[in-house]
Structures are given as structure tokens and as C-alpha cells.
Structure 1
Amino acid sequence: MTTSLPQSSGRPVVTDGGLETDLIYHHGVDLPYFAAFPLLDDERGRELLLRYYNEYVDIARRAGAGLQLETPTYKANPDWGDRLGYTTGDLRRVNRDAVVLLQRLRDRAGVETLLISGNLGPRGDGYVAGDTVDPDEAAAYHAPQIEAFADAGADLVTALTLTGTGEAVGIVRAARAAGLPVAVSFTVEVDGRLPDGTSLAAAVTTVDAEGRPDYFMVNCAHPTHIAPGLTGGGDWRTRIVGLRANASVLSHAELDAADELDEGDPVQLARAQDALRPHLPSLALIGGCCGTDARHVAAMWGVAPAG
């Protein structure tokens, strides 16, 4: 396990918000299958992405914190790429291009610390547990995307919205083979458990025993949904370094069925997240997930929204 990442040693680090929901609902962008990576293939798409990321550069500056930006590649894996007409070669190119885009932003951002995280999502639906995943199969499946991140010079890999431990262990193995630090982020239902029913404590403990990522996160759930999963004792909670909360208190099923974006209230979201801090002594990396934008992340960091 590496200790070179600033958040691993407790340094405050801003990360971004709900990229896809922000682009869809606030910018009128059509994202088939909730995939943002095709935007990398045209100039207008790249400009939209850079405008989005620059809002978080501004927040990090004003908060006096480091910054970690996730590549727009959550769905840039073989199954989802195939649905969008991307070949294996196309996916390798687009995953590399995503890192390069953020490297160019970093060169002119003027932020002391800006980490580029190669972002990947689960093979299946991030809200549905699906079948039990074999770690070796998961490692083989995710390896090409992770290798593309490594080749392009990403600082780490972050796997978001994982629903079970098998895929998490496989991703850690693939990242280690590629020589990259890796963060594992689980999502939870309203009861604080993973979609497959595993407790957050058991999930962290199991993955640590099998592979030990650099740190864990929880994402795509409202803080009031995360809270029940943090009860009880155990040092496992010190392994959770990052949170990317949803804006809405709705369940995953309710969000899937909704026709409109539930943005919640940025100030209330920040307060709900602050209420988790006594249970998360290592919390250092903070951003948002579905329904959030720069307003929500600014509130989490106690700075006024830009503009």
C-alpha cells in the first residue's frame, strides 16, 4: 500500500461532483447509457468537460486544499463501450485521452496539488448487485482500462459505485499489476448496506484481507443512507478516506424512476455529511455524486459558490 497520496496522510483534498447529471440536466447534453467519455471525441465536448472541471479547480483554490479530478471514463469499459460502438482500440485511446485532457488542465491550473484519477465503474449496473463476481475475472476485465490509465500517466485509479467485494478485489489486483495506487468506493442502500446486502464493515474488511487498496470511499448515496452503515466499533472505519454523496435522499430505485433531477439543498447536504465526521476519522477527500454540482461541493468545503 502506497502512502504517497496526500489524502492517505490526512491532507484535505477536493474532488469533483456529479459529472453526468450536471451535464445532462444543467447543460442539456445527451449522454446515452449515462456515458460521458464520448465527449472526448469532439471539441465542443472537451470544452464542456474543461468548464466543468475548472469549477472544482476554483473551489480547491479557495478552500486551500489539494484537488483530485476523475476522468470522465466511468462507462469506458468493454460492455458499455460496445453498446456505444467503441472497439477495444477505441476504448484504449479514449481512456488515454481522458488522462491527457486533465494533464493539460493541470499544467495551467495553478493548484499546488492536482491528482489525476483514472475513473472506472462496475461492469454492470451500479445500483444493482447482479451475480457474484469472480475476482480473477474482474481483474482481467478491468485490466485494459487500468493499463491505459497507467500508460497515459494517471496518478491513481478510483473505482466508483461498486456493489460487491469480488469486483473490488479484482480491480485492486489489476491496479497493482499496472503499478497504480487504487481506491475502492462502494455504494450503499438506505440501510447503509451494499446492494447485495453486505455490511459496509464486512465489505471493507473482506477487500482489505484480499488485496488492501490504498483507501476506501463511499459514493452515490445520501449521507443519511451512509450513516447506518457506520455504526458499531472497529478500526475498519479508519480506512474510509473519501465520500462522494448524492444530493437526493431518494433511494436508488426512486432515483432510477424519477423523471427530474432532485438537487436537494447544498447547505443541508453539507450538514448531513459533516454529521458523519465523528465516525470517519480519516475523512480527507470530499466531493459529490449524482445530483450534485459545484454549488454542493463548495458548500461541503465551506466556500461560497463561484459567480
Structure 2
Amino acid sequence: MGRDLYISYMGAETDLIFNHGVDLPGFASYPLLESENGREILRGYYSSLIELAQQFNVGVIIDSATWIANRDRGAQIGQSRQSLERLNVEAIELIDQIRKEYDNVSIVLCAQVGPRGDGYAPEDLMTADAAENYHNEQIETLSRTDADFICGTTLCYPEEAIGIVRSGKTFGKPVAISFTVERDGCLPTGMSLKDAIIAVDEATDSDAIYFMINCAHPDHFTRVLADEPWFQRVKGLVANASRCSHAELDEAGFLDDGDPVELGAQLAALRRMFPHVSILGGCCGTDMRHMKNIAEQAKAVVS
């Protein structure tokens, strides 16, 4: 992808729950694949994002609905190992079908892999070996699909990221890693973003294709970004609309959608400061208003 601009959207779950009244047990969107109405909901998000990319002549990363389609998170909502395998495959088949419907836009398919536990309140942390063993199940399934790469998303400690990178290598699928941070710019475990990225690279011979930050407001991470070698490994910033902490968001009974114009301006400013950052987008609390502002303002930076 180089330095060409790509947009990415990871905010469908909060939009569906708070703005559209859609019930998502366990915060999982992949069960939507089990009904025609649910598939149309997902298709609507993907199509809207691609059409934004066409409008502003940028690329688009389509993230699958498989973020927490793993064994432990699936069991919490009654999913069997067999149903999870099927739904992981169907999630990629859906976005692959949609990609084939569009011409003249660069579309990249990302198979999302999320944390085993709560990415915002980490406990029972795994070793890198345990994380690799755990995530092998989902990643082996995803490796048999037409996804272009896998992204370990909303991770909060390096050992889980190391395990995901190693698993991707085992099954022959490129892997990106996206960490989340708190208001102080550090991971929920307290480790600095810099140290986490360096730890993953050192343990994997820099096998991750790139790193990202997601599920945090720009105010939370801008202060820790620096023109240093470790930050050259960060290619994506997919931001929350709200300035609230993760704990505050978990307790909120309403959606804080922030300011779409301001969010677009903040991400565009970071693109201007760090031209190697080529993926920008919205996470919790965002919708297509935010994505339009992000695409329009970031595109102006590189035009």
C-alpha cells in the first residue's frame, strides 16, 4: 500500500447498538451473517465505505466482522467451534463478493482477529506461546480464505500480539498488529506503545507488516507519537469519536459521537506531520459522517 491513503472503519458495532437499536450479544457483529437482514446490514456498511473511497479517490480496507469470532468470546454467546469456523469463512466470503462488485477503487480485505479477553481491562494475560496456540484455531481458518491479510486488533499487551504474528507466519498469512491505548497514551497494562512495538518486533524478527493504533481518541495518543524508528512501523490510526476513557465508555448508557469535523481535522493533521501514516479511520462512536470528514480532510493533505 505504500504511502497511498486508505480509509478503514471499525465502528459498526457501536453505531448499530446505539443508533439503530440492533442487539449484538457480546458486542459481536459476526452473528449478523446468520440472517439475510443481518448480511444486508453488514453489506450496507461495506458499500458505503467503498463509495466514500471512490468519491475521494482513496483506497479502502474492508475489515471483516470476525473481531471476536474466537473460541472463548464465541462460547459466551453460545457459538460452537463448528459455527465459528463457518462464520469466519462466511465473513470473508461476504467482503470478497462485495470487492468484486466495484471497479476503479483499491480494496484490501482484512481478516480481523481480536483479543481473547477484554482488551480494555486485561487480566489472565497469556504468554506468547499460549497466545499463538490459542489464536491458531481462528487464524488457520482465516488463512484458507481470500483475505489479503490478518490484523490483530484492539490488543493491549505484546505477548498476545507476538502469538498472533507467529500464528500468521505458520499459516502463511501476513499479519498487522493494532494496539489500543488509554488516555495517557500507554497500553491498558501500563506499557508504553513504543516498548510494546519494539517487543513484538524483537520477538518476531519484525514479521508484522505494520502496526496501528485503534479504539482511542487522537488526544490520547498524539502526545506519544515521535519521529523515531519505532513509529515508522505505525501505518494506521483508527480513532474513537469520544475523548472518554475505556472505563467511562463501558459505563456510559449513551453514545458519545464527538465532533466528526474535528476528528477528521485531527487525523488529517497527523497525516501531515507523519506522511508515512497511510491508514486513517473511525472506531467506536463513529459513523459515516466521521468517515466522510476523515477521507475528505486527509485527502486534502496529500492532494
Q: Is the TM value for this pair above 0.5? A: yes
Letter in 1 for 2:210: Y
Partner in structure 2 of residue 134 of structure 1: 127
- AA aligned to 1:23 is L
In structure 1, what is the Cα distance between the partners aligned to 2:288 and 2:141? 28
Q: Verify the 8 A CA contact 1:71 1:118 in the aligned structure 2.
A: yes
| 1:226 alignment partner, one of 221, 224, 228 | 221
Shift of 1:178: 1.1
Are positions 1:210 and 2:197 aligned together? no
1:59 and 1:17 mapped to 2: Cα distance?
15
**Secondary structure of 1:274's partner?**
helix
Q: What root-mean-square deviation, in Å, do the aligned CA atoms of Structure 1 and Structure 2 show?
A: 1.3
1:201 paired with 2:194, answer yes
- Cα 1:141/1:111, change in 2 over 3 Å: farther
Q: How does 1:271-290 map to 2 (within 5 A)?
A: 271-277=265-271, 280-290=274-284
What is the CA distance between 1:53 and its match in structure 2? Answer: 1.0
Distance 1:17 1:133 in 2: 25
Out of 294-303 and 115-124, give the one that drifted further: 294-303
1:11: Cα distance to partner?
Answer: 1.6
Question: Which structure 1 residue ranges, 5 or more long, are not aligned?
Answer: 1-5
Q: Which position in structure 1 is the counterpart of 2:78?
A: 85
Pairing 1:143-292 to 2, within 5 Å after superposition = 143-211=136-204, 212=206, 213-231=208-226, 234-277=228-271, 280-292=274-286
| SS at 1:275 equivalent | helix
CA distance in 1: counterparts of 2:76 and 2:246, whole angstroms: 23
Take 1:234 and 1:12, find their aligned partners in 2: how far apart are those partners?
21
In the alignment, residue 280 of structure 1 is paired with which amino acid? F
Q: Are the aligned partners of 1:183 and 1:214 in contact in 2 as well (CA < 8 Å)?
A: yes
CA deviation string 1:188-214 (max 9, x = no partner): 000000001111111111111111200
In 2: Cα distance, 1:48 partner to 1:274 partner: 29
CA distance in 1, matches of 2:230, 2:271: 15
| Letter aligned with residue 214 of structure 1 | I
Matched, 1:104 2:91: no
1:273-292: CA deviation from partner (whole Å, max 9, x where unpaired): 23333553420011110001
Give the secondary-structure state (helix, strand or coil) at the position aligned to 1:117. Answer: strand
Conserved? CA contact 1:160–1:184, under 8 Å: yes
Distance across 1 between alignment mates of 2:177 and 2:274: 16
- Match in the other structure for 1:297: 291
Q: CA deviation at 1:109?
A: 2.2
Counting aligned pairs with the same residue, the percent is 43
Q: Distance in 1 between matches of 2:290 and 2:238?
A: 11
**1:13 equivalent in alignment to 2:15:** no
**What 5-or-longer segments of structure 2 have no aligned partner?**
298-303
Specify the SS of the correspondent of 2:141. helix
- Following the alignment from structure 2 to structure 1, what is the Cα–Cα distance between the partners of residues 37 and 87? 16
Q: How far off its partner does 1:112 sit? A: 3.0
Letter in 2 for 1:55: S
What is the total number of aligned residue pairs between the two structures? Answer: 295
